[in-house]
Amino acid sequence: MYGLIIDHIATYIKEKYGESTWSEVKFVSGVTEDTFQMDKKFSEGLSHKLIWACHDVTGVAVDELMTNIGTSFYTFLTKFEFNKVLRVLGRTFPQFLNGLDNLHEYLRFTFPKLKPPSFYCEHESRTGLTLHYRSKRRGFLHYVQGQIRNIAKELFQTEVVIELLDIEQDMNLEHVIMRLHFNNLDFNRQGTAYRNLNDSILEKVKITSDIFFDIFPFIIVFNRGMRIRNIGIGLLQVMAGIVGKKINQTFLLMRPFIRFRWEEIMLHSNNIFELISCEAIQEDEDSLLVYKHTDVDQMTEERHRMVDAEREKFLSLKGQMFYMEEWESICFVGIPVMSHLPQMYKSGLFINDFALHDSSRDLVLASTQQSAELKLLLHQEAQKSRNMRENMNKLKKERRRTDKLLYQMLPKSVANQLRHGESAVACCERFDSVTILFTDIVEFTKMCSSLTPLEVIEFLKVIYTNFDKVIDQHGVYKVETIGDAYMVVSGAPTKTEHDAEFILDCASQFLVEAGKMVNMNEKAPKIEIRAGVHSGAVVAGVVGLSMPRYCLFGETVLVANKMEQSSSPMKILVSETTHNKIEESDPGLYQFEMRDEIEIKDDQMIQTFFVVSRHGPPRVPSPRNCESRQDESNNEEDDDDDLMFPAVSFPDYLFSKSLINFQKPGRKSPTSEAEDELKKKGQLSYTPVSDTGIETHSRNSNRTPRHSQDITPRNSLTGK
């Protein structure tokens, strides 16, 4: 199937339902292309894939979709100016229908491998006609009916009511019989005028048979028994022995899709007939390819399946059938179909064999030049299409890279607001309940004094890379890093009622990761961090123009920082506010150890607690609670990986190989895991994800029998 039909279906979906629906249709059908080249061949089933995918996405019935798409076909053809051909195909609507097969033959110059349907009319009356539709493709009946109704209305200002009479399978074809009801005002009007004119001409003009066969050098005359009585002088040069043989045993009928019988030929006198010889063209005196099949249907099917190079071995004639009452015979007035000059030479034909009045001789000579020009134009169009696709892919890739960089700088929700034109002030928001975590490295200043600047940078990169992997698992957002200080928040920019729990789980994992980092450098045999946590209200927004940053403001930030400064190495110090929040939401989830009060400011004291252990596994956050900057990278191409913070390999003099032993590959983010699970279950991408279901599953998993889990790293973790 050529891209013209596929492009028509895609254009209808885009114009009717929008680009977002088209994207979903592509996903459901497995199609990746956005544009379809008009003269490029595609899979026969692609059109039905798109239609059924559109049905799944929009809920519109398939038959209704096919009818509506067929109705829009005439308007779509104006894009390629094919509508001008339709306007001159017939003076009346019945003439137009009778000329459809001829139109498809003309289109073969543009679409050489076209496999069109066949139409013919019968039982024409003042109130309509019976239309026979045959096609090798099934499932396009409603599409054709939509085309017929629309063209009758657009070109002939006629309303047509279609009545389906019968559907049958005939010669591997779908044969549909329809009665078209319309006001056929021109019925008998033109026929009467022609008969009156014809009678007057016959009385004055007589033509002998010799002149007749001279005028039409490739004519074939056969009687009711299908036996050939005479042939033209041109055909006599290459097939002299066929006189006296049956035409349906000498030639195969390729078009129209009917039985090669007298009665059916008489019904299709308005159609173009294409005949192809049963015997191959004699290429030399010693070789003659002859097909031995006795099954005519089988031979015809073989010719249809042949590629162009194979079909050129057989003589093909195209022309018109008409009945000669004086001879009681049917005359086939045709001309040879030649793809190129070498084929004509091999067949034994020459230019002089064609009648002088016949434009075929000019077409044969011009076809070589026109074919070269057409191939050049098609090549240029294909090259432009490829360049456009490449540019579109590059544009999409750059868009993904830009988005990835933007989401590394700002939360995705905030970045999207700014991209939609909202001001930075409009993006500011107050959050009544968030939990903030600060960490820093113990004796980092002393450590830096013994390391070179490059070693310090590499040292921090390893630590923060591991920490970044942790935050993607716990649904928290990294606000910033200043030197050795690492700031994380939960509850902003995405709100959640489990912000304190997510932060404590994240801080606990930070301690575990820090405990694993041993013997990274001779001057820094182990790493110890302090962690401080506090919950409260903040105001969050984007600050800056040249390098915008997402910042948090409020006393909560100050108190969380004070918690970190007052904490001990490899300990998590939390405020009374965070402690109470955990106990109120899930009593006994964490085991705390009460510590001394600390002064915040102006003699303001606050009770503090050390986190000792947790009961049960960490809570899995909902995908919508994750502002993960790595979510966007999971579906990206490999060449974009350099934009992320990868696991870095370092020189041997700086770090020992023991670092590699404890580095675990980062697990997928909760968002990606949820998507993978949905795909395994066969759900579509546009199926809403229920946060409630995920949260319920997580809550139930956390209520398993609680075994105390000590989150304080033991000596074994430090290698001692």
Measured between alpha carbons, how far is 591 from 606 in angstroms, rounded to an integer? Answer: 19
pLDDT tens figures, 409-454: 788 888 888 877 777 777 788 999 999 999 999 888 888 888 888 8
**Residue in the structure block whose two tokens are 């038959």:** 63
Instruction: Give the C-alpha separation, 34 to 18, whole Å.
Output: 13
pLDDT tens readout for residues 47-68: 999 999 999 999 999 999 999 9
Q: Of the candidates 241, 214, 207, 220, which has an alpha carbon nearest to the alpha carbon of residue 354?
A: 214
Compute the average pLDDT of residues 519-531: 77
Residue 204 structure tokens? 């004055």
Q: Identify the pLDDT of residue 578.
A: 92
- Asked if 42 and 1 count as a contact pair (C-beta separation under 8 A), the reply is yes
Mean pLDDT of 10-17: 92
What pLDDT digit, counting tens, does each position of 285-325 carry?
333 334 444 455 565 566 556 655 666 678 889 889 989 88
Percentage of the chain exceeding pLDDT 70: 75
- Average pLDDT over the chain reads 77
More confident residue, 681 or 420: 420
Residue 539 CA: distances (Å) to CA of 384, 418, 712: 52, 18, 33
What mean pLDDT do residues 666-679 have? 41
Rounded Cα–Cα distance for residues 720 and 718 (Å): 6
User: Which domains are present in the chain?
Assistant: 3-171 (3.90.1520.10), 207-281+312-357 (3.30.450.260), 424-614 (3.30.70.1230)
Question: By the 8 A CB rule, do 478 and 486 touch?
Answer: yes
pLDDT band, residue 596 (cuts 50/70/90): confident
Cβ 713 vs Cβ 515: under 8 Å:
yes
> pLDDT by residue (tens digit) across 608-619?
999 988 887 877
Q: Distance between CA 578 and CA 535 in Å, rounded?
A: 5
Which residue, among 324, 245, 233, 307, has the nearest Cα to 277 in the 3D structure?
245
